[in-house]
Structure 1
């Protein structure tokens, strides 16, 4: 590189023979004194060594000689100033190259080295060459390191030491020596060449930006050192870090051409800090939508608060992705759950709020709420300290009045709770190694389509994915592995939950979930569970089993299709209803369960795969499809596949409607459920009323409410085989539990019929 050639810069001063009016005896600035007409200076036209040269009598302690022309000093440029000097008579002085650093507005840039190495003249007549290199970067061999602030220099030399000597000076030479430091074959530029100083104190933002501007498609090299950046810095070219950078927490480093985690780790020298700085940039620039961790593992001993890390945004809706890496949560007290108890009052008039909360300031957003009459997975969505109120993610089913509640704040590897809204965020191929120390992911309060795909959540301490508000609206969880930390425990002793949902329209697909307390606690409607395999068994014979999926809303409009449901069951409740009794609302309905594999191993006979648990009276099933499933029990029979848990309230079987329960396969189930169900009934002795028992087959042991078919199989006869041709009439809802049907004939008879009954009415 030679700026005189490539950019046409004029570097060389004029010869002395052209006149001394451009040669200053001061700093070289406009208006300074010159040597023109000075009695102590003269042009010598024919020196035997120099040809034409300047002869000076030293009369000052520092006798200055400066060219008044402005020698430009561009970023990344290095100039060598040299002169040949010889002593002629009198005292022998010292000689050194010197300059004056000029900045914008022709101001003097102070605080810089403006002299080169000094040389003492030893004898008369001997030619001595003095030289110095000036440049922007702190490189070996640079005598005057000026950085990026000076724009030009007035260069020359100083005579110091004893006065009274006469010296002759050959014409001053200024040459571009940049190629000695920056070989043109190199495809990088060094920030040091643009004034960067890696002392950990000097602000290098301007130097970094100058190097980036000069790179013009080449790589920027951050050489060895620690470089302080006091403001945001954006690189438009690729950057290679040998040294590291430090910057305030709220300042961003954006690497637009090599935006990935390893580059940030190289930049900051610390994995966690590097991740946070990369996330800052991810949320603040539009020219990259994905942070690739490049397979790197980050070891962490505390939660990562993504909202606090970003620092300047409370809501965000542009698609952003973190992908291809691992977080390793190591043992630390920072993961300990914060547990507080406080007295508070609950009323159904404002059914998602606690009022009069004692010591409300200690309650943290995102805390799990527990207490009498509180359903599962109720979280603190917000806290108003002044009003002493706590807003909840769900209503409470039976908590009216004042009581003491427990608030438990789990700690998560990735915590998004600080965002008021976060949409279209993706975690892709990320391994969250919770290691029994931390929980996995806490979602933002609100937002759409948070997507977790092809990820591992390994041994979360308490929770895998937690929603504290509606940040789960439209959430997608695809092809993930949820591996419990509680696998050695009995099923009934497990308390961890893989994920919960509060809003609508989630898609939970093709995941593998191993031995949690629950796979999913799901509120809202419009959910799709497909292709998942979750299993929750243990080694205890006749063991107790917990729900895999727990739906907590009556009308769910959801489907559970093509899953492998192993040693767990689907539970359907309305525990997130402040007035859980039925009152002119949609009751249990809208659930489709089809083409699943249901398996149970070593369970008690009373185990069931589909359980409805009303939390208030008057409810019924209105719209449910259970078809094409395989129900198989291993190592012992179960009584039946379905059950109503009436420990709080039962169902109103007189209002059941629109239930399809067909085409299922039962293996080792004593009673097999169908709707409609067709049973053969054989009356072996003459009787006018035939009693047909449907109790073993109607869904949820409901009532036999309708007959849709009656066919005689063979002859109906009386006495000694006298044919009966009359048809009977039917009486539904017979028996103590109304699950029998009576056939009443005109006269006593016997024979075999196929009778089809339903548990429901169509409307």
Structure 2
């Protein structure tokens, strides 16, 4: 690069001539300083045998200065060589050095800079000595005067030092652009060192980085070898290449807007992948120039949980769409993934159902901890901790836990932990493998947030959890097309502890995922959820084995769709385990669950296994709106009694209050009693009787009672004992038999024949 050629910049001062000595100062070269024009001790020599035209000076001052009064520009990234040829002709022999004066745009001097080159002593008369020095903005080898970016021009020349009285002759002073000596020819980059960056690991080089980027103008910024400390945020609007490394305070942001990908950050931070990820996430949530962070297909080794809010300390909440994609996060072996467990005595009240009060040892309880204790349902987490008030806010109410007891709080460690944010909306994670290495868990969501997305991800062998919600950060969440691979495949189902995911808020979409051999695939609270197209399987090799719930619905009035799933060696469990006073006192009851068009398979399970289980946690509950239709239920390696059952561990359902229950169009293979409602029964009465006792054969859902008969049709001629026809219309009585699951068809007299009834177990 040569600015004189490429940009027409004039660096060279004019030659000495009889009429221009007024352009050469005896001082610093600034306006008003004395010149050599008309000076008795100076003259222009037109025909020196060595120099041609030259300047002759008698040294009269301790430091005799010669400065060109023109303003030689100092340009970032540009290096100038000042050269002079000199010889002593008489008198005492002085020393000589290149020298200059640095000025700002307003004409003031920049202090604290090196303004002289190396001094050379003249040792004889008539011998030509050449001296030179290089001035430039960057601290590079061979640069004599490092001026940085504050000066914009200089006055250059030379100094004579040593004894006075000597006479010297000076050839024309040359100033040339020698930038090419430091840079490759025709370079398409600028180097931060040319703009004052020091790279010693302690000097703040932030301003130099910004200046280099401002000067790049479409070229790449080179961070050459060195260790650069950046004390404040730096944004690159041009491409950047890191040969050197940077260090920054936690709150300082590095934003390479044209190279915003993880590889750039790894280069910038010396190969520290974990730090690089944290700083990249920080920039992602602080810069409008990029909506996504591409991990570039890299595996990022992580030794400690990534607290995303701690990496972005200036943000307590965030609501702009941002995406993390395309890579692998791997938990490396360390003690940093071990869960932290605390036990504390606390009090729970149904009137304050979202809080534990008078919590002992509260300072040691971490937000996001799993809560366990008597009456605590599955996947209840600490949503907030108020140390001063000794209160813990819960993600869900407890069930029948009123009073004081000891609770256990277990804080799992997550590869990505968003719980430090008060709210996080529209954050998406896609095509990322969470390589949990049997130790770490996957993702902890923020306590509050809407329409966050996890798609096309793999959660490989999480230590405890795949995706956890400690509050309502799962409102409207999309969990689509992911794989959840358990570390507990060789463990009996009843001994497993890991859970693929849980939700607390409404409107969750859980679709097209695959999960293998967890304790539970999904524990779902809230309403209006859609669980569609998933394959989750939880079997083991134990004959007549126990199977856990694949999906746990924890709210009575759930209004949830479970459709098109492959439910493999597990079941759907519907509970009211979030109710502080679990006995029914009002409301819809168990309402709004639709289970349609699923493939349900089990193998080598106990005969009492069921694919659909309702578990009331208190008395008086009933179903008030349920649709089970179009499903295929199949048993391999044995026969089970039925697909639907009530877990009466706490209480049975009130079978007399059932409403709007539809079991239709299902297929049953190796199921003893396939449930239907309404149930079509064909009855043949082969002996004359006035009361025909008709059995439902345990085929009403949940062993329900016969409450209604929708229709009754005679399929043959009703006959008296004398074989004559009686076309009288019979009537029916429901709820007959010890289990109230039989129907009596009552005629005016003893009759025989055939009838078809459509019976319901609901009103």
Secondary structure (helix, strand or coil) at the match of 1:487 reads: coil
Secondary structure (helix, strand or coil) at the match of 1:757 reads: strand
Contact 1:357–1:388 (Cα < 8 Å) also in 2:
yes
Pairwise CA distance, 1:433: 0.6
- Residue of structure 2 equivalent to 1:171: 172
Aligned runs of 1:202-213 on 2, under 5 Å?
202-213=203-214
- Residue of structure 2 equivalent to 1:316: 318
> Would you say 1:82 and 2:83 are equivalent positions?
yes
- Residue of structure 1 equivalent to 2:630: 628
Q: Distance in 1 between matches of 2:316 and 2:110?
A: 43
- Residue of structure 1 equivalent to 2:12: 12
- Residue of structure 1 equivalent to 2:159: 158
- Residue of structure 1 equivalent to 2:117: 116
Contact 1:421–1:471 (Cα < 8 Å) also in 2:
yes
Q: 2:748 aligned to 742, 746, 758, which one?
A: 746
Contact 1:412–1:438 (Cα < 8 Å) also in 2:
yes
Query: Unaligned stretches of 5+ in structure 2?
Result: none
- Residue of structure 2 equivalent to 1:606: 608
Residues 445-471 of structure 1: CA distance to partner in whole angstroms, max 9, x if unpaired? 111011001000111111110101100
- Residue of structure 1 equivalent to 2:107: 106
TM-score by length of 1: 0.97
Query: Unaligned stretches of 5+ in structure 1?
Result: none
Contact 1:712–1:753 (Cα < 8 Å) also in 2:
yes
Pairwise CA distance, 1:60: 4.2
Q: Distance in 1 between matches of 2:35 and 2:153?
A: 20
- Residue of structure 2 equivalent to 1:639: 641
Pairwise CA distance, 1:101: 2.2
- Residue of structure 2 equivalent to 1:416: 418
- Residue of structure 1 equivalent to 2:470: 468
Contact 1:446–1:471 (Cα < 8 Å) also in 2:
yes
Q: Distance in 1 between matches of 2:721 and 2:607?
A: 43
- Residue of structure 2 equivalent to 1:447: 449
Residues 448-502 of structure 1: CA distance to partner in whole angstroms, max 9, x if unpaired? 0110010001111111101011000001011100011111110000111100010
- Residue of structure 1 equivalent to 2:486: 484
Q: 2:595 aligned to 587, 593, 609, which one?
A: 593
Contact 1:343–1:405 (Cα < 8 Å) also in 2:
yes
Q: Distance in 2 between matches of 1:38 and 1:490?
A: 105
Contact 1:695–1:701 (Cα < 8 Å) also in 2:
no
Q: Which moved more, 1:220-229 or 1:52-61?
A: 52-61
> Would you say 1:714 and 2:695 are equivalent positions?
no
> Would you say 1:667 and 2:683 are equivalent positions?
no
Pairwise CA distance, 1:107: 3.6
Q: Distance in 2 between matches of 1:272 and 1:40?
A: 70
- Residue of structure 2 equivalent to 1:565: 567
- Residue of structure 1 equivalent to 2:92: 91
Pairwise CA distance, 1:89: 2.0
Q: Distance in 1 between matches of 2:235 and 2:302?
A: 27
Pairwise CA distance, 1:175: 2.1
Q: Distance in 2 between matches of 1:541 and 1:165?
A: 112
Aligned runs of 1:224-623 on 2, under 5 Å?
224-269=225-270, 270-623=272-625
Residues 564-622 of structure 1: CA distance to partner in whole angstroms, max 9, x if unpaired? 00010000001011122222212111111111010111100000000001112211111
Pairwise CA distance, 1:162: 4.3
Pairwise CA distance, 1:655: 1.5
Pairwise CA distance, 1:47: 2.0
- Residue of structure 1 equivalent to 2:757: 755
Q: Distance in 2 between matches of 1:237 and 1:598?
A: 56
Secondary structure (helix, strand or coil) at the match of 1:715 reads: coil
Q: Distance in 2 between matches of 1:187 and 1:69?
A: 31
Q: 2:728 aligned to 723, 726, 729, which one?
A: 726
Residues 70-106 of structure 1: CA distance to partner in whole angstroms, max 9, x if unpaired? 2110111111211111111233333221112223543
Secondary structure (helix, strand or coil) at the match of 2:45 reads: strand
Q: Distance in 1 between matches of 2:152 and 2:116?
A: 17
Q: Which moved more, 1:635-644 or 1:46-55?
A: 46-55
Contact 1:420–1:446 (Cα < 8 Å) also in 2:
yes
TM-score by length of 2: 0.97
Q: Distance in 2 between matches of 1:216 and 1:9?
A: 18
Residues 532-581 of structure 1: CA distance to partner in whole angstroms, max 9, x if unpaired? 00000000001111100000001111111111000100000010111222
Contact 1:515–1:537 (Cα < 8 Å) also in 2:
yes
Q: Distance in 1 between matches of 2:309 and 2:636?
A: 49
Secondary structure (helix, strand or coil) at the match of 1:115 reads: coil
Q: Distance in 1 between matches of 2:154 and 2:403?
A: 82
Q: Which moved more, 1:367-376 or 1:746-755?
A: 746-755
Q: Number of residue pairs matched?
A: 761
Contact 1:373–1:397 (Cα < 8 Å) also in 2:
yes
Q: Distance in 2 between matches of 1:748 and 1:293?
A: 82
Aligned runs of 1:3-82 on 2, under 5 Å?
3-17=3-17, 18-82=19-83
Pairwise CA distance, 1:58: 2.8
Secondary structure (helix, strand or coil) at the match of 2:118 reads: strand
Q: Distance in 2 between matches of 1:5 and 1:637?
A: 92
Q: Distance in 1 between matches of 2:643 and 2:712?
A: 26
Contact 1:695–1:702 (Cα < 8 Å) also in 2:
no
Pairwise CA distance, 1:714: 2.3
Q: Which moved more, 1:18-27 or 1:523-532?
A: 18-27
Pairwise CA distance, 1:412: 0.6
Q: Distance in 2 between matches of 1:163 and 1:605?
A: 116
- Residue of structure 1 equivalent to 2:216: 215
Secondary structure (helix, strand or coil) at the match of 1:147 reads: coil
Q: Distance in 2 between matches of 1:185 and 1:63?
A: 40
Q: Which moved more, 1:303-312 or 1:202-211?
A: 202-211
RMSD of aligned Cα (Å) = 1.7
Q: Distance in 2 between matches of 1:208 and 1:172?
A: 34
Q: Distance in 2 between matches of 1:333 and 1:496?
A: 19
Contact 1:443–1:468 (Cα < 8 Å) also in 2:
yes
Q: Distance in 1 between matches of 2:316 and 2:618?
A: 39
Contact 1:716–1:724 (Cα < 8 Å) also in 2:
yes
Secondary structure (helix, strand or coil) at the match of 1:117 reads: coil
